Structure 1
Amino acid sequence: MRHEIISIIVPVYNAQDYLERCVNSIVNQTYDNLEIILIDDGAEDKSPEICDCYADADSRIQVIHKENGGLMSAWMTGVKKSSGEYLSFIDSDDWVEPEMMEEMIRAAFGCEGEIICGNFVIERTCGTTEHYHELSPGIYEGAELENKVKSRLLGNERRTISMSRCMKLFSRELILDNMQFCNTAIKMGEDVNIVLPALLDCKRVVILEGALHYHYFYNDASMVHKYDGKMYEGIRILTDTMKEILLAKKVLDWEVQWEKERLFLLLLAIKNELRGGMKGYAERVNQICKKEELKAIIDKYHIKPQDRVNQILVWVVKKPSDRRCKLGKLIFELFDKMTKCMK
């Protein structure tokens, strides 16, 4: 049996309805050399009391109560408190299979700078879907790590490795050494802040085959296509941070990866406007396209998406006229109605 300590960090905020399911899945892991850190991020429900009850019952669990500072602030607090050789992150409304930690630590080599990647299941009220990394299962080191992983992290329609901090096992120093890149102003895609620099610094990546250990709970009721008026600015902050990371890590082809990644992220801002935007949405789409020169990026890299949604968005972006914006909005409205009917 391996002896390394895995520190599992769980940010907790108003999660009383899901917290027991999450923590039970952790304490019942087949690998028991765990340090379980529950971060109460100023929760206003019964989550703090539930955390304390678990800590009283299991010596592996410690609870940190803090003022609300957001998800990133919570897990960063847990990282600073941790002492394990490896770190793993689980969100409080998610849960994991009992063999997750054992299978990941078995794939670890015990060296500094490695990341073990499992896969995940998205749990919706209407059913579940399995999700795998685009990168083939296997061990990536040396030249193969550089050529097949680090040079292809960004700029793909589907990322080769998921940028989620969850469903992974990190050598602790990879996280500690890169926390300076964590920008708490980012509210969308914030895991990129830590996962991207960690992947660029790592010496070994393992993609597990199968390994559908992590269950990501998608709350349809609270996440149904709501318009986010701050999405565009949030994406700009995120892409600026990506650029900072790529430059700091001296990535040779940083501009190619960054420009293509920026395009795919900004397509989300366009979709946000078409799907949920109200009065003036067409003008806002037009402004984003012109300001960010999206058509120039599409033409420069001959972007031809495979995903139907992205195909519609690229069609709008190439000529963001009122007519194309209205037709794009209508298509998304029809798609959402069909999806709702199917449920």
Structure 2
Amino acid sequence: MSKYKVSIVVPVYNVEKYLSRCVESLLNQTLDGVEIILVDDESPDNCPKLCDELSLKHPNVKTVHKKNGGLGLARNSGMEVAEGEYVAFVDSDDYVELNMMEILYNECKLNNLDAVYSEFNTDEYPGYRVIPHIERLYQNEEIESLKLDFIGAEPEYTSSVKYEPSACKGLYSLDMIRSNSIKFLSEREYISEDVLFNLELLDASKRVKLVPFQLYHYCLNGGSLTHTYRADRWEKLCKMMTALERYKSRFSNPRAFELRVARTAMAYFRMASTIELHRNNISCFEKYKSVNKMLKESVLQSRLESYPISRLPKAWRVFAFLMKKRLSFAVCVLILIKG
């Protein structure tokens, strides 16, 4: 029998100014039986000391000190020592509603769930808009449609993202994770490691539910990997697209899978190109060369060959056509016009 109802794994790295806010939201959860696992990923600031102080002060807080390896591997280290029936993941520069764990735990117990997913609250993240999904239970074969939504959107959908696949929005059966040897890959290799984690988890699940409650506060932190320029971003996005291809045989409708991956590939390219074109430390010609090189990448073009561009929303149709025709200069102009 599990010692706790829920174990919350919190990777900690260079977040001294945010850590207290995060941990306070976890210590004050309305659910009894919550364990908090702080995983110090060799943080260079005062966080290791703060984590140790919290462990000494609170019996339900434990600290794991490990050699720096990144977010995904830190989460794995936390799972290894977790003693909860269910496990949740919270990034240390974010925080959660005080009743998040109670709501999600009760959903799991009432509905005999392997996993439950809530929604982000982005009040502290200007420009990031979330439209909560309707409440829905997925069972057995129905889970494949949720897996597709985690990968990307169908051509007609207004956004390229159908369901944000962050591991932080969910609560998961720890026994199921361990029984199926599910682990996070390193974000230093795969830029969207949460997608791969969730695909593995959903493959092993029998009953999964989405709830429309915005319980996780996703905060804007200029120092996080998501919001900073990375020279290897496109390389890792290409590697991510290749990794997704390995899941194709697990889907009963391969064409639906291909369309979702292609839509995500287009979104990856647009994101990477936009970041590149707004850099201030290189010339316009260097920016163009970089976008041109990305556009010719085979892992991208192979997904555009048979893609039904005419089914895309207007805002994406022209952009996708220019991508398919490899019109790099026109792509750059369109991105700069759109901002």
Question: Aligned residue for 2:67?
Answer: 67
Q: Who is 2:156 aligned against?
A: none
Q: Give the direction of change, closer, same or farther, for the CA distance of 1:116–1:219 in structure 2 (3 Å limit).
A: same
Cα distance change of structure 1 residues 63 and 41 upon mapping to structure 2, 3 Å threshold? same
2:195 aligns with: 192
Q: Are 1:178 and 1:198, in contact at CA under 8 Å, matched by a contact in 2?
A: no
What is the identity, as a one-letter code, of the residue corresponding to 1:199?
A: L
Counterpart of 2:266 in structure 1 is 263
Name the residue aligned to 1:239: 241
- For 2:170, the equivalent position in structure 1 comes to 168
Alpha-carbon distance between aligned partners in 1 of 2:187 and 2:333, rounded to the nearest angstrom: 37
Task: Report the Cα distance in structure 2 between the residues aligned to 1:311 and 1:63, rounded to whole angstroms.
Answer: 50
The percentage of aligned residue pairs carrying the same residue is: 28
Contact 1:116–1:169 (Cα < 8 Å) also in 2 = yes
Unpaired segments ≥5 residues, structure 2: 154-158
Q: Residue 225 of structure 1 contacts residue 275 of structure 1 at CA under 8 Å; is this kept in 2? A: no
Asked if 1:314 corresponds to 2:291, the answer is no
Length-normalised TM-score, structure 1: 0.82
- Are the aligned partners of 1:124 and 1:220 in contact in 2 as well (CA < 8 Å)? no
C-alpha contact (below 8 Å) 1:113/1:174 kept by paired residues? no
SS in 2 for 1:49: helix
Check the 8 A contact 1:178/1:194 in 2, yes or no.
no
Secondary structure in structure 2 of the residue aligned to 1:327: helix
CA distance in 2, matches of 1:190, 1:85: 23
Q: How many residues align?
A: 326
Partner Cα distance (1:181, 1:94) in 2: 19
Question: What corresponds to 2:336 in structure 1?
Answer: 330
1:131 aligns with 2:133: no
State how far apart, in whole Å, the 1-side matches of 2:226 and 2:185 are. Answer: 28
- Among candidates 146, 150, 168, match of residue 149 of structure 1: 146
Q: Is 1:202 aligned to residue 197 of structure 2?
A: no
Q: Is the 8 A contact 1:183 1:193 kept in 2?
A: no
Structure 2 CA distance for partners of 1:152 and 1:164, relative to 1, 3 Å: closer
Q: Which amino acid aligns with 2:236?
A: G
Which residue number corresponds to residue 138 of structure 2? 140
Cα 1:149–1:86 shift into 2, 3 Å: same
Distance 1:27 1:312, change over 3 A: farther
For residues 43-85 of structure 1, what are the alpha-carbon distances to aligned partners after superposition, in whole Å with 9 as ceiling and x for unaligned?
A: 1111111111211121111001112111111111001111212
Work out the CA distance in 2 between the residues paired with 1:32 and 1:270: 47
Q: Which amino acid aligns with 1:14?
A: N
SS in 2 for 1:108: helix
Q: Which residue of 1 aligns with 2:275?
A: 272
Structure 1 residue 300 corresponds to structure 2 residue 306? yes
The one-letter amino acid of 1:218's match is: L
- Counterpart CA distance in 1 for 2:34 and 2:214 is 20
Q: CA deviation at 1:331?
A: 1.6
Residue of structure 2 equivalent to 1:338:
none
Give the deviation of 1:263 after TM superposition.
Answer: 3.3
How far the C-alpha of 1:142 sits from its partner, in A, is: 3.5
- Alignment partner of 1:267: what SS? helix
Q: Superposition pairs for residues 25-174 of structure 1, below 5 Å?
A: 25-109=25-109, 114-124=114-124, 127=126, 131-134=130-133, 136-146=134-144, 148-156=145-153, 157-174=159-176
Name the Cα RMSD after superposition. Answer: 3.1
The 1:130–1:294 alpha-carbon spacing in structure 2 relative to 1, beyond 3 Å, is closer
Cα 1:123–1:186 change in 2 (3 A) is farther
1:199 CA displacement: 1.9
**Cα distance in 2 between the residues matched to 1:327 and 1:54:** 52
SS at match of 2:91: coil
TM-score normalized with structure 2 length:
0.83
Unpaired segments ≥5 residues, structure 1? 336-343
3-state SS of the aligned residue for 1:212? strand
- Specify whether residues 299 and 259 from structure 1 end up closer, same or farther in structure 2 by C-alpha distance, changes over 3 A only: same
